[in-house]
Each structure stands twice: as structure tokens, then as C-alpha cells.
Structure 1
Amino acid sequence: MNQFDKRIFVAGHRGMVGSAIVRCLEAQGYRNIITRTRAELDLTDQAGVRAFFAEEKPQEVYVAAAKVGGIHANNTYPAEFIYSNLMVEANVIHEAWRTGVAKLLFLGSSCIYPRLAPQPMAEDALLTGKLEPTNEPYAIAKIAGIKLCESYNRQYGCDFRSVMPTNLYGPGDNYHPENSHVLPAMIRRFHEAKMADAPSVVIWGTGSPKREFLYVEDMARACVHVMDLSREAYAANTDVSVSHINVGTGEDLSIAELASLVSEVVDYQGEIRYDTSKPDGTPRKLLDVSRMHALGWRPQVGLREGIARAYEDFRSEELVAS
């Protein structure tokens, strides 16, 4: 069989990461990409997922489906975050094993690492300390996904892989005023302030925490790159206890620096103020990406360029909504 005829299931294809993975696969020439909307297949429904895998028999699976959000959403809906993510990954990974899927890629999150992990955070920092309380339920679900892949590999000889992205942004992001992540929330806030000629924009926290950001198209390329690796090449950069690989830029900046950059891209002329009564979250989250570099992948889109592209995406979505 031609490799471009492989049956590839992208779970979560309407999300920011899943849609980018579909675009990346299509650009590379893959012709047999399987998708389902949430209305067509509820991934938390074990019987439904089992029937889907039995019928479609995908050969490769990308697990990009997840319930995600920023500090506010994680604090407000902890039960939904842990339940939904646990159920989705357990159902998909188990049925992938049961139906003989050749390769699976699970997408995690950098919040799996301890709140005060040494920086930059290497893969072996996992489970070495306490998690950030504001997103602990979500982080535990993602850690469980890594361990599911590890366990099925160990017990059944599967080829299930895991990548841990840093903070992602780009086309298809969630710009909700309360439930979005920090960068899309800033894009919306600064844009609305510009349109209203508001004198200032308020940012949560002190502005001192440092964060790393990766453009979603770069993440999609990383995912396909990792899946295309031979089993030997992937295994050479992992081991039984550390089977996941970090994906990021290896560079970070403070929230205050990010706010200044977003305001410049949006061309907002007002003042930036900080609400120190709001939580900062983890002080710093920078990934050690040396393993991913050793596997031959590096990001292509710089932060300023990526924010400009994301802002254009936001404005186009706004026009459609209006």
C-alpha cells in the first residue's frame, strides 16, 4: 500500500490542533483522513468509540481531542476537565489497541510537569513534584494519557507515542473572553479596547510569570514528524520511564512582555494595567526541547509573525460572526 493511502483518524479535527494536523497531512499528500464531529461520535461514549473503530479500522490515530481552557476555565470546571479528558483518551487508546492500530500519537500538555520543576523542564521531570493547583485535574488526566500509552506499549507491544506541547496558539484558537488561554484572550482584549478607544487594558496577575508559545502549524508539523519516525528512531530518544517528547520553541518571555507584543501587533495605543488580585499560575513553564531537536524538528514561525497571523484569524472569525 502507498503510505499516502493509510487510513488516519484525527480525533478532534475541528479543534485548533486537530485541524492543523489535518491541514498538514493533506499538504503532505495523505488522502484517507478519517474525521468525526462531536455530534457524529461522542468520544466519551465507550460503546460508540468501540463501534467506530470496528467499522473504520484506522491504521494510525492522532489523539488531538481534549477539553481545554485557561486558568479561569480550569478553576471553574475541574470535574468536566478531568472526566472528559480521562474518558476520551481511555476509550480511544484502548480501542486503538483492540483493533490493531499500527501507530498512535497522544497530545498532552506542558502542565503535566511540577509547578516548581527546574527550568527548562526536561521529560524526566514528570511526577517529581506537586502540580500547579489551578489546572491539576486537567494535568492529571494528561499524565494518565501518557501512562496509558506507556502501559499498552509495555504490555501489548503497541507503538503509541506521546508529545507534550508548550502553549499553542494560531488559526482556530478559542477567543472566548473568559475561558480562553492567555494569548488569544489578550488578542481579543486588546482588539476590543482598540475598537472602543478604551484608555487601558487589564491583564490578570502581576505580569511576571514567563511562558513559551508555539504556533499551531509548527505543532502540527511536529506531530506528523514524530509519527513518521521509525519505531527505532523514536525509541532511541525515549525510554520505558520517559516515553513522551516535549515540543516547543525553547524560548520564553514574561506575560508583561507578551502583553506589550500583542498590543503592538494589534496597534493598541492605551495603557496596560495588571490586576494583582488574580492568580498568576505557574511562575515559569519553559520546555527542554533538546530531544525533539535531536529528532530533526525545529519550529519555523517566530512569535511576532505568529501573533500577526493569529490576529488576522481572529479578525476574520469576528467578521464571520458579525
Structure 2
Amino acid sequence: MNKSAKIYVAGHRGMVGSAIVRRLNALGYLNIVVRTHAELDLCNQAAVNGFFADEKPDAVVLAAAKVGGIHANNTYPAEFIFQNLMMECNVVQAAHANNCQHLLFLGSSCIYPKLAEQPMTETALLTGTLECTNEPYAVAKIAGIKLCESYNRQYGRNYRSVMPTNLYGENDNFHPENSHVIPAMMRRFHEAKVRGDSEVVVWGTGTPMREFLYVDDMAAASVHVLLLDDDTYQTNTQPMLSHINVGTGVDCTIRELAETMQRVVGFEGKLVFDTTKPDGTPRKLMNVDRLKKLGWEYSIDLETGLKKTYAWFLNNVEGLRQV
């Protein structure tokens, strides 16, 4: 893709979107188009159509999404399925209608069945029952994959999808209840340290296993997939299986995560696991063989990533999002 290409990054203020903008700029792609939610509501079809008609982007990165952890997914299921479906339908259709040939859709590892064989390969999609706590969100993301595949099949578009594992890093949502496990846990440990608490309570049994990817690695992988030439991409994908897993291929237990977090934050109390809270999926590990064949591997390990994230957290703690 030419360095002067106009690239629209939807969700540029979010954790992933902001990292993708940084990555594109670092590679010399400076013609980046962005809009805040106040400037463009992606759930408003007429507004999205008007934006695409005016801007005519050469490529789109759809990083905008309604996201959250177990608590948020359980509490707001209607918002999670409705908003995500509306955003992806509006953006993909408007991109096609305005002859935008290149689009990258960002999904989630929660698209795979709750009891999928580990590590999860792309072929596991739609082979079993989803985890009930985030099923509405997962269904919306599966629809986004199939949306891209359908436009590719019918119209010859080059719309690609990447499915990241659990992400973390700067610009994350650090709300103690409505966020994902790492930012919620980091804030809890930090505040406990500041207060001088004797213990920190972690949800669940601590036995589920999770894989985590630092957001700058996710951005690098996303841009790598977006910029791949057609021959390389098509050799490693199939028309009906176009999504690509993005992760490290390495996981740890929630207990191990909590112990690493305790060390990074410097909390000296004890850990307590609240077994009355849900664990979610027993294990979520991505098979990233396809991504490796496409020429990309992660570079930031968990402890290094947590240190980077905590340094950012300390510099931004006063302005953290609360919802």
C-alpha cells in the first residue's frame, strides 16, 4: 500500500486503535483519517454513509467496538450485541459502497467455543457452544467475520479479519468492574498498595488459563496483516476461513497473572481468591501458526508488558475512564 494512502482508523482513541495509529505513523503512513464518537456515531448508518462518501478512504481499520469484561458483558448484553453489530454492518457496507478495497476487522478470541480444543485454531469457529457470559459480544464478532467473508466472495473485496487474544496496555479501560482482567486487577492492586491493605481479592478460583498480548504487539500484527500482498495472504488463508489468530501462543493461570501483577505493582499483602465469582472459559490459548507463516511473531513478554502498562498507568491515573 502506498505511503500516501488514506487510511481510516475507526476507534482511534481506544487502546487498540491508538496503538494502530502509532504503528502506521511509525511506518510512514501519515494520511490517517480519524473521528471521535461525538463527531461520528458508527451506529448511525446515515452518518457513516455520509462520512465515507466525503472521505473516500483507500483502507479501513475497524478497531471501534463496545468492549468489557465478564461483569460488563453480563450486565449489558443488549448493548454489546446491538452496538457491535451496527458498527460493523454500517462500516463494512459503507466501505464497499464507496469502492474501498482494503479493510481490516478486529475481532476477539471469544468467538471460539467454550470447550474448543486447545490451542484454538481458526477452524474451531462455529464448532461448539460459546461461553455464556459473553455470547452476545461473540455472536456480533462472528457476524463481523462472516460479513467480511461475504463481501469478499460476492464482490471480490479484500476485507480481512484478525482475532486477538486478551489484550492489555496503555489507553486501556481501568474501571475496577467494567474492564478486562489485567486493567481491573492492576487498578485493584495499585489502590490496595496506596491504602496499605493487607489483602487483594481476585475473582474466581485462579485456575483458568489465559493468554495475554501487549497492545503494541497487536498493532504491529494488525498492520502487518493489513499490508500483506494478496498472494502471501491468500496462500495462508481460505475463502471461507479468512480470519487470523493473533497472540503469543503462551498462556498462564489467573493465579500466575495475579502473582506477576503483585510483583510489578509492588503490593506486599496476600492474595485471596473469591470462588463465588465466575471463572469464565477454563482455558483460552490461540494457535498462531498461520500468523507465523505470514511472517509475524510477538516480541513483548507478559512481565515486560505489565511493567510498561503500569508505568503508563502511574502517569495517567488521575484521568482514567470510570465507565
**TM-score of the superposition, structure 1-length normalised?**
0.98
Displacement after TM superposition at 1:242 (Å): 1.2
* Matches for 1:218-233 after TM superposition, within 5 Å: 218-233=217-232
**2:69 corresponds to which residue?**
70
1:211 corresponds in structure 2 to 210
Q: How is 1:138-157 mapped onto 2 (pairs within 5 angstroms)?
A: 138-157=137-156
- Describe the superposition over 1:255-276 as per-residue Cα deviations: whole angstroms up to 9, x where unpaired: 0000000000001010100111
What's the TM-score once normalised by structure 2's chain length? Answer: 0.98
What pairs with 1:197-276 in structure 2 (closer than 5 Å)?
197-276=196-275
Q: After the TM superposition, which of the residue ranges 311-320 and 75-84 deviates more from structure 2?
A: 311-320
1:37 aligns with 2:72: no
1:284 maps to 283
Give CA-to-partner distance per residue, 1:127-150, whole Å, 9 cap, x none: 000000000000000000000000
Deviations 1:149-194 (A, max 9, x none): 0000000100000000000000100000110000111110000010
Partner of 1:318: 317
2:24 is aligned to 25
Q: CA deviation at 1:232?
A: 1.6
CA distance in 1, matches of 2:318, 2:132: 37
Whole-Å separation in 1 of the counterparts to 2:301 and 2:115: 27
Q: Distance in 1 between matches of 2:250 and 2:313?
A: 24
Give the Cα–Cα distance (whole angstroms) in 1 for the partners of residues 318 and 173 of structure 2: 15
How far apart are residue 320 of structure 1 and its match?
A: 4.7
Corresponding pairs, count: 320
Is 2:49 the counterpart of 1:54?
no
Give the C-alpha shift of residue 317 in structure 1: 1.1
* 1:314, distance to aligned residue in structure 2 (A): 1.1
Please report how far the alpha carbon of residue 105 of structure 1 lies from its aligned counterpart in structure 2 after TM superposition.
Answer: 0.2
Does the Cα contact within 8 Å between 2:114 and 2:281 map onto a contact in 1?
yes
Mapped to 2, the partners of 1:272 and 1:117 lie a distance apart of: 30
Structure 2 counterpart of 1:64, one-letter code: A
Q: Using the TM superposition, give the Cα deviation of residue 243 of structure 1 relative to its aligned residue in structure 2, in angstroms.
A: 0.9
Report the RMSD for the aligned CA atoms in angstroms. 0.8
- 1:101 Cα deviation (Å)? 0.7
In structure 1, list runs of 5 or more residues that go unmatched: none
Match of 2:157 in 1: 158
Amino acid at match of 1:301: I
Shift, 1:240, TM fit: 2.1
CA distance in 1, matches of 2:7, 2:130: 34
**2:3 is paired with a residue of what secondary structure?**
helix
User: Structure 1: which amino acid aligns with 2:314?
Assistant: R
Aligned to 1:120: 119
Secondary structure (helix, strand or coil) at the match of 1:104 reads strand
Distance in 1 (CA, whole Å) between partners of 2:101 and 2:149 is 15
Deviations 1:49-75 (A, max 9, x none): 000000000000000000000000000
Q: Deviations over 1:193-223 (max 9, x none)?
A: 1001100000001000000000000000001
| Secondary structure at 1:3 match in 2 | coil
Which consecutive aligned stretches of 4+ in structure 1 deviate over 6 angstroms post-superposition? none
Structure 2 spans left out of the alignment, 5+ residues: none
Alignment check: 8 A CA contact 2:176 2:185 kept? no
Shift, 1:319, TM fit: 4.2
State the identity as a percent: 62
